[in-house]
Amino acid sequence: MRQYRIEPGTPVRLADWDPDDTAGFDKLGVRGRLAALRKRLAAQQRVMWAEGRHRLLVVFQAMDTGGKDGTIRKVFSGVNPQGVRVVNFKAPSGIELAHDYLWRIHRHTPGDGQIVVFNRSHYEDVLVVRVLGLVPQERWERRYEHINAFERLLADEGTTILKFYLHISKEEQAKRLRARLADPEKHWKFNVDDLATRERWDDYMAAFETVLSTTSTADAPWHVVPANHKWYRNLVVAETIVATLEGLGMEYPEPEEDLDGIVVS
């Protein structure tokens, strides 16, 4: 899965990345593999919680219908909710706007033994803010440096960071939006504002390309995940997270006292 990782300093042109890619896998064959990965993820999360030394931050960004909710649901099903927290960042409140843009983000980062998943993130402040012109260009351009420094701080203090851009095509987005309109049970997921965002597709692609090129670092790498096929999207994300956690070499802590000979009557 390392083919989807953006190495630091690599310029990204999303037209060169195939959102239909499945690397030769098929949906039927992936089912058992994903189930096994979820068990390994749950096992690693239990060790992380017990050990209380490591932290994991997982960031998801995508265009509308890109599959952030579905990926989180499918990949993290089965983990203990006591040690995993999902944070969904919407438009900032008045109180949040009265602070710097990273203020609302920092207080949601993981503590020792925790996994935190960001459904959207601080990157909205160089994506939506840029495309809609909500702040002057010289202001949002400075934020790439801010974000790299912020993530470096988290990494230096013990947080492992994984960032996933779920890459769908414009044609696949249209298909998913039509499916929401056709199914009354999915009408709640349809937002007319999504159509206005869709009209700015090229602007958003340019904004994502800058983000991926500028803020993929050794401590906080971006992964461009082919997301037209939901089952393969889930596989790429799960494989990457599990491999990262297993690479930390976590272990259950030794008991504080010798338990030999103890009998519970």
- 265: its two tokens: 């009557």
Give yes or no for residue 41 having a pLDDT over 90.
yes
| Residue 258 falls inside a structural domain | no
Average pLDDT over residues 150-167: 98
Query: Does 207 reside within a domain?
Result: yes
Band of residue 158 on the pLDDT scale cut at 50, 70, 90: very high
On average, the pLDDT of the chain sits at 95
Let me know: does 73 contact 84? Beta carbons within 8 Å.
no
For residue 199, is pLDDT > 80? Answer: yes
Question: Which tokens hold the place of 87?
Answer: 């944070």
Amino acid code (one letter) for 162: L
CA distance linking residue 130 with residue 139, whole number of Å: 10
Percent of the chain with pLDDT strictly greater than 70: 100
Tell me how many domains the chain contains. Answer: 1
Lowest mean pLDDT among 30-44, 85-99, 176-190: 176-190
Q: Are strands 222-226 and 159-167 parallel, antiparallel or unpaired?
A: parallel
Rounded to whole angstroms, the Cα distance separating 219 from 30 reads 29
CATH of the domain at 26: 3.40.50.300
Nearest to 204 by CA among 123, 122, 142: 123
The closest of 59, 105, 216 to 152, measured between CA atoms, is 216
Question: What are 52's two structure tokens?
Answer: 């209380």
- Cβ neighbour number for residue 146 with a 10 Å cutoff: 15
Return the residue matching tokens 């702040």: 135
215 touches 148 (CB < 8 A): yes
Does some domain include residue 125? yes
Per-residue pLDDT averaged across 161-183, rounded? 96
Residue 81 has pLDDT above 90, yes or no: no
Within-domain flag for 262: no
The string of pLDDT tens digits covering residues 207-235 is: 999 999 999 999 999 999 999 999 999 99
Residue 226 lies in a domain: yes
Is residue 19 a part of any domain in this protein? Answer: yes
Is the predicted pLDDT of residue 146 greater than 90, yes or no? Answer: yes
| Domain extent at residue 116 | 2-246
d(CA 250, CA 50): 10
Please say if the pLDDT value at position 73 is more than 90. yes
CB 210 within 8 A of CB 140: no
The per-residue pLDDT for 255 is 79
Is the residue at 264 inside a domain? no
pLDDT digits (tens, 9 = 90+) for 104-142: 999 999 999 999 999 999 999 999 999 999 999 999 999
HEC profile of 28-67 = HHHHHHHHHHHHHHHHHHHHHHHHCCCEEEEEEEECCCCC
Residue 149 lies in a domain: yes
